[in-house]
Amino acid sequence: MVDEKAVHYDSVLEGMAHRVIRPFGGLLRCISPNAYALIRWKLGQWWPTNRWLGNPMSQHFLVPLAVRSQDTVLDIGANTGQFTIPLAKLVGPKGAVHSFEPISTTFNELKATIDLAGISGRVKSRQLALGDSAQTVNFTIPKERPTEATAVPHDKEAWADFRTRSDNYFLETCKVVKLDDYIRDEAIGNVAFLKCDVEGGEFQVLKGALSLLTRPSPPALMVEIFEGWTKSFGYEPRDLIEFLEKSAGYECYWISPTGLTRVRCTDPTIPGIFYQWVDFLFVRPATHQKRININRYLSR
């Protein structure tokens, strides 16, 4: 039997914790992202504060470690701005966020979000898809979930009815460019961080960015890699990891519920828990160690 008084008491304590702690956390994050991350990580290891604050090892937790004021960053698969907005706040008015979203309805929402947030001066939103060649592609879009559009339809999870209920989906033709071509045409210099979440097409995006990834100072990467989606595109998660390891010298870490877990393309299994824990951090230690102290956040 549920003790309603205990539940109410816990909810009150949780609310008080959020009201007291969050303002201090926001201030500390502005002053020193690394100090904020370390304290947040330590608190998250302790059960009471983990319960009140939530699991600290998530995509949004890692972003302040990798991004600084005046940086140039890329949000590929920007959706409606879930990462674009915090990235824009981190880079500040002298930084730049290049956000890519190919689907018209989602792109319009992204633009509206950027305008409402008052950050249009630092965000360059592009209605483009990225891939390994310049072309036009028909994206399949779920009518009830337009933000899950993909260049190659799936047959698992939310897409389980695709073969039998095609009337629940529609097509939109989108322009695809290579990221290397875009960076050249826009005369973009150093890129500090790249986030990529494109429903299984991540390998194609990164193959079209090889010049960027092999620069002396390449960006840190945060990439969604979910086997259920990658197989639709004809590759396994380890294929993408091997590409980044061997072609560009990156190390791969799974962003797990307990911390960062080192992953190699030769491992017997590649981890991932759908749907939240399917993101991976890629770094070149010699380049990124000053910003992201990987050893500090390794899984216990």
User: How confident is the model over 177-236, as pLDDT tens digits?
Assistant: 999 999 999 999 999 999 999 999 999 999 999 999 999 999 999 999 999 999 999 999
In whole angstroms, what is the distance from residue 151 CA to residue 91 CA? 31
Amino acid, res. 46: W
- Counting every residue written for the chain, the total comes to 300
Taking alpha carbons only, the member of 222, 282, 214 closest to residue 248 is 214
pLDDT of residue 5: 40
287-294, long-range: CB < 8 A, 24+ apart? 287/217, 287/218, 288/66, 288/220, 291/34, 291/65, 291/66, 291/68, 291/220, 292/62, 292/65, 292/66, 292/220, 293/34, 294/251, 294/253, 294/260
**8-state DSSP, 298:** B
Q: How far is CA 290 from CA 153, 218, 220, in A?
A: 40, 14, 12
Pairwise pLDDT comparison (216 vs 34), residue with the higher score = 216
Domain 67-129+178-297 architecture: 3-Layer(aba) Sandwich (3.40)
pLDDT band at residue 123 under the 50/70/90 scheme: very high
Q: How far is CA 92 from CA 30, 72, 81, 220, 278, in A?
A: 11, 10, 16, 19, 29
In this predicted model, what pLDDT tens digit does every residue of 61-114 receive, in sequence order? 788 889 999 999 999 999 999 999 999 999 999 999 999 999 999 999 999 999
Number of H helices and E strands in the chain, helices first, is 12, 11
Of 2 and 128, more confident: 128
- Residue percentage of the chain with pLDDT more than 90: 64
User: Which candidate, 94, 170, 177, places its Cα nearest to that of 136?
Assistant: 177
Q: Which two tokens stand for residue 29?
A: 């994050």
- CA 26 to mean position of chain CA atoms: 21
**Confidence band of 34 (pLDDT split at 50, 70, 90):** low
Domain ranges of the chain: 1-55, 67-129+178-297
Written as six digits, the tokens of 93 are 């008015």
Which stretch of 3-12, 113-122, 211-220, 275-284 has the lowest confidence by average pLDDT?
3-12
Chain centroid offset of residue 243 CA: 19
Q: Which residues are 262's β-sheet partners?
A: 253
- The predicted model scores a pTM of 0.83
- Compute CA 85 distance to the chain's CA centroid, rounded to the nearest angstrom: 12
153 contacts 232 by C-beta, under 8 angstroms: yes
Tell me if the bond preceding 275 is cis, omega within 30° of 0: yes
Please provide residue 4's backbone torsions phi and psi, each rounded to the nearest 5 degrees.
-65, -35
Is 150 a residue whose pLDDT tops 50? yes
